[in-house]
Amino acid sequence: MKFKLFRFVLTKLSKDKARYFIDFIVFGIGFFMSTGIALCISIIVNKNMNKEELGLYNYNKSLLEFAAYASSLLLYRGYLRFNITGNNISLFNKVKFVNFIAFVFLEILAYYLTRSYWALLFPFFIFYEERLYFFRSLMIVKKVNFLKISSSLLSLSLLLIFLHFNFIEPNFVLFAYGLGFILALLFYFNKKKIKKDFEIITWRKILFYSLPGLGAVIVRLSLDVSSQYLIKSEFDLIELSKYAIATRVLLSIKLFSSLLMMFFPILYFREIKIKNINFINRTRIMSLSLMLLIVILSIIFRNQIYWLMGASDYMEYSYMYSFLVISEFFFVIAGLWGIYLSYALKTHVTLLIYLLGAVFNIIILGLFLPLYGIIVAPLSILTTNIFMATLMFIVSFRMERKFLKSIL
C-alpha cells in the first residue's frame, strides 16, 4: 500500500516533495495511534477521579511540565534548526549536560509537590521529549512513532492495572506516565549510523536561539497555568475542574494542531533554505484549511466529544471547550505565520509578542474573572491568541515576505 501511494505521489510531485508527503502520512499514522492511546488514558482519568482529585492532578501535571521546559532551557528544540544536515555533535553534548541538571531539579520538585515517591518517575519526561525532537529533526519517522506508541501503551497498561485494583489517584497516574517516559532511555543506544555534523554551535549561539524561544513557550504555557492558578485561588477545586476538563477535552483537537506544528517547521527550515517559496505557501494554506475544518466539526459535535472523552458529567460546561477550540485555531495561525522568526534566529521578537500576550491575558483575568466567573478564562485565552496571531502577521509574516522578495 505504501509503495502504491508513493508511486502515485511521485507522478504529482518531485521526489523530495513526495518524500515529505509520505513521511507526513507515516508520521500522522503513528501520531494518531499514540494520541488515541493518550486519549484513552485521559478518559480513564476523567471517569475515575473525583473533582477535587482531578483538579489537583491537572494542576501538578501542568506545573511539572512547565518546570521541565523551563529547567531544560528547551535546548533540545534547537535540533530542528541545527540538525538540518545531520546530528550536530556540539549541540547534542550541550543538550545532554543541561538535561541532566534539569532532571535532578525536577526530581526534587516532584517530591516537594506531591510528597510521594510515585511521582518521581514523571521527570523522565525531559528525556522522552529530547528523543522525540532528536529523531524528528533527522526525519527518522519510524523511531518517533515507535517511541510515542510504545510509551503510551506502557502507561495505559499500567493505568489499567491500577484501575483493576481501584488505585486511580493523582500520584499513581503520574507514575504511569513516568514509566512510559523511561523507555526513552533505550533510544540512546542507536545501532544505525546517523550522519554527523561537526559544526561548532557555541553556547552563545544556542542560548540566543533557545532562551527567547523558551521564554515564548513558558509564556504560552503560562496562559493556561495562570488561568488555572487564578481560578483555584479565586474559587475552589470544583470550579477549577470545570475548566480543567475543558482543557483536557481540548486534547482531542490539539492532536491535530500538534501534528501540524510538529511537522511544518522541519519542512519549512529545509525548503526556505533552498528558496522554495511556492511549496511553502501551498503547504501553509493546506494546513490552515485542514485545521479550520477540524475546528468547525469539533464545535458542531462538542457534546459527542465530551461523551467520548469520559466527561459527560461536565457537558453543560462544554461552551468553554468551544472557545478554547477557536483559540487553538488562532494559535496555529500564529505558529505558521511566526515560523520565520525561528529561522532568522529572531526568537527574541517571538518572546516579546508572547510576553505582550501574557500581560494582556493576566489583565483580562484580573479585571473580569472575579466579576463574571470561570467563563472569563477561555474567553481570555481566545482574545489573547487573536491578539498574538495579529502581531505575528504584522511582524513575522511581513518580514518573511520581505526576505523572500530580496532573494528572488
Residue 92: pLDDT over 90: yes
User: pLDDT of 108-158, one tens digit each?
Assistant: 999 998 989 999 999 999 999 999 999 888 878 888 888 989 999 999 999
3-state class (DSSP) for residue 139 = coil
The one-letter amino acid code at 314 reads Y
Q: Are 181 and 128 in contact (CB under 8 A)?
A: yes
* Cβ-based neighbours of 348, under 8 Å, separated by 6 or more: 212
Instruction: Kindly report the backbone phi and psi dihedral angles of residue 13, in degrees, each rounded to the nearest multiple of 5, phi listed first.
Output: -130, 165
pLDDT band of residue 20 (cuts 50, 70, 90) is: low
Cα–Cα distances (Å) from 19 to 14, 82, 162, 292, in that order, read 9, 21, 42, 25
Task: Identify which of 311, 263, 253, 300 has the alpha carbon closest to the alpha carbon of residue 283.
Answer: 263
DSSP designation for 396 = I
Query: Would residue 115 be called left, alpha or beta, if left means φ above 0 and alpha means ψ between -120 and 50 degrees?
Result: left
Prediction pTM value: 0.70
Place of cell 514509566: 179
The one-letter amino acid code at 137 reads S
Residue 7 has what pLDDT? 52
Residue 355 has what pLDDT? 85
Instruction: Kindly report the backbone phi and psi dihedral angles of residue 153, in degrees, each rounded to the nearest multiple of 5, phi listed first.
Output: -65, -40
Residue 174 has what pLDDT? 92
Residue 105: pLDDT over 60: yes
Distance CA 332, CA 292 (A): 10
Percentage of the residues of the chain whose pLDDT score is greater than 70:
90
Name the helix (H) or strand (E) containing 87: strand 87-88
User: pLDDT of 261-318, one tens digit each?
Assistant: 777 877 787 777 777 778 888 888 888 898 899 899 988 988 888 887 777 777 777 8
User: pLDDT of 237-246, one tens digit each?
Assistant: 677 777 877 8
